[in-house]
Amino acid sequence: MKHRNPAFGSVRIAQQISYAFGLDIDKDVVRRVLAKHYRPGDCGTNGPSWLTFIGHAKDSLEIEEIKSVPYVPVSHPFIEWLIGTVRREYLDRVFFWNALDLVRKLDAFQAYYNAHRVHRSLDGITPAQRAGASCPIPAAIQRYAWRQPCRGLFHTPMVV
């Protein structure tokens, strides 16, 4: 499993703070705070991998093999990027039991991705705002609550 540098998401974290609280914060400040205080624990290295889990459960799962040519994108590069983002940020972290469960979870991620997750390419706003949705009221740093989209996988502050 590839472990990321804790400073990897410092730009997005700074943008998310700006989006939620209306505060300008430099990505380097976020990077320094993460470097000093971020302790990821075991990052899942002590548990079984997805491959091991599926191998143990293969008798109870119906898995159909799909053959494809490796390293040959069949879609537009934007679509390949989007698929990679959904896989890295969501599907690598959740398990789904069937097609209906997958559709429900992807719908929840789509709502989070479009309405709550800030995007660097959009200058720290959400796609919903880019499409004309109103800007949220900034939360007060002394009084806020946590929104937990995607069954608690993500945590974003909100106004209370």
- pLDDT tens digits for range 103-144: 899 999 999 988 888 888 788 888 888 888 888 788 887 888
> What is residue 147's predicted lDDT score, i.e. its pLDDT?
83
Residue 15 falls inside a structural domain? yes
11 contact partners, CB below 8 Å, separation of at least 6: 27, 120
57/145: higher pLDDT:
145
- Strand intervals (E) in the chain: 144-147, 156-159
Residue 1 falls inside a structural domain? yes
What six digits make up the tokens of 115?
């309405």
> What is residue 1's predicted lDDT score, i.e. its pLDDT?
39
Q: Rounded CA gap, 110 and 135, in Å?
A: 18
Structural domain of 134: 1-44+94-160
Mean pLDDT over 18-34 rounds to 78
Residue 87 falls inside a structural domain? no
CB count in 10 Å sphere of residue 149? 17
CB count in 10 Å sphere of residue 22? 14
Residue 2 falls inside a structural domain? yes
Confidence category of residue 68, pLDDT binned at 50, 70, 90? low
Domain count, the chain: 1
Residue 58 falls inside a structural domain? no
Residue 55 falls inside a structural domain? no
19/101: higher pLDDT:
101
> What is residue 2's predicted lDDT score, i.e. its pLDDT?
46
Confidence category of residue 3, pLDDT binned at 50, 70, 90? very low
Residue 79, pLDDT above cutoff 70: yes
Sign of the alpha-carbon dihedral angle for 35, 40, 42, 44:
negative
Residue 70 falls inside a structural domain? no
> What is residue 107's predicted lDDT score, i.e. its pLDDT?
92
> What is residue 18's predicted lDDT score, i.e. its pLDDT?
79
Confidence category of residue 57, pLDDT binned at 50, 70, 90? low
Question: Whole-prediction pTM value?
Answer: 0.57
Residue 13 falls inside a structural domain? yes
